[in-house]
Amino acid sequence: MIDSGKMPRALPWRPPANEKRLAEEVRPIFWSNRPKSYLTRTSNWESYPNGRWGNSADPAYGTLSDYQFMKKKSSPEERAKCKEMWGGDISSVEEVQAVFVKASKGEIKSLPWSDLDKLAPETALVQDKLTAINSAGYWTINSQPRVNGAESSDPQVGWGRPGGYVYQKPYVEFFCSPDKLVGLMKHMAASSPSMTYHAVNSKGETHSNLGPNDVNAVTWGVFPGKEVVQPTVVDPASFMVWKDEAFDLWRSDWGVLFEEGSASKKVIDEIHANYFLVNIVDNDYVKGDIFTVFGV
């Protein structure tokens, strides 16, 4: 009878009911909006990270073919519903961008990269900025605001036991064109030393200022009578697993709505082939502003 959305969260993500995973305390941020995918990919792991994310979570992730909900747009009714929600036929990249802008404003229920049916409460803290960068050509699929010592009971960003304080490094994940990425990397190199990034396209071509084993804790909490808890990380190895899923969703969830050879299908295929998936972390969680590199 209690609204689950108003219940205190033990962690930034809600632990599954499966008691096999009760000790799980750490996850990569990439699946924040697709928890079903993450749970299915990791269902065969013999143990789950509890305290620190070690050796890129040594067990191998499951593949896309392991779960059927990737094909959720299989019925004509479901396809028609999604096509209407995302604006119908598209003839240009600009029309795709308009869909992302509407999603950032909460005017569209969800995009292929989210299982959730609404924006997270913390998104309200940066919603105007997210709308601005989507309008500038950086199409966001995941983010979190900067948090420096908010009470664990905070209704937007709080989690964990009472009497604690939580912290977050600002994070944003998005698709963008190669030209946009080049300008962004130059800007970060020249003026934003606190920012780390990783970019990859569907072919596996990468750009990064991180090492392959540089796991970065981006959420943590300090609570009475307990060690520091760091439940969310950015892990380069896991990002490379996630990128296959993220790019596949262009075709499996959006492109599938259109006929082969149609103008709409060609636009989706062009984006899939040429765009980059990028994540950026601003490691200055005290004074940093991750949105400055986008010019907003």
Q: Please, how many CA atoms are within 13 Å of residue 267, restricted to the half-sphere of its CB?
A: 16
Nearest Cα neighbor of 240 from 185, 188, 279 is: 279
Say which amino acid occupies 107.
E
> Do residues 21 and 14 lie in contact, with contact meaning Cβ atoms separated by under 8 Å?
no
Domain residue extents for the chain: 28-55+62-294
- pLDDT for residue 225: 93
Q: Burial, 197: exposed, middle or buried (Cβ in 10 Å; 0-12, 13-18, 19+)?
A: buried
- List per-residue pLDDT tens for the chain, 296 residues long: 444 445 568 999 877 888 888 889 999 999 999 999 999 999 889 889 988 887 555 568 988 664 544 445 567 888 888 999 999 999 999 999 999 999 999 999 889 999 888 899 999 999 999 999 999 999 999 999 999 999 999 999 999 999 999 999 999 999 999 999 999 999 999 999 999 999 999 999 999 999 988 999 999 999 999 999 999 999 999 999 999 999 999 999 999 999 999 999 999 999 999 999 999 999 999 999 999 999 88
- 26, 142, 196, 278 from 64: Cα distances, Å: 22, 20, 28, 20
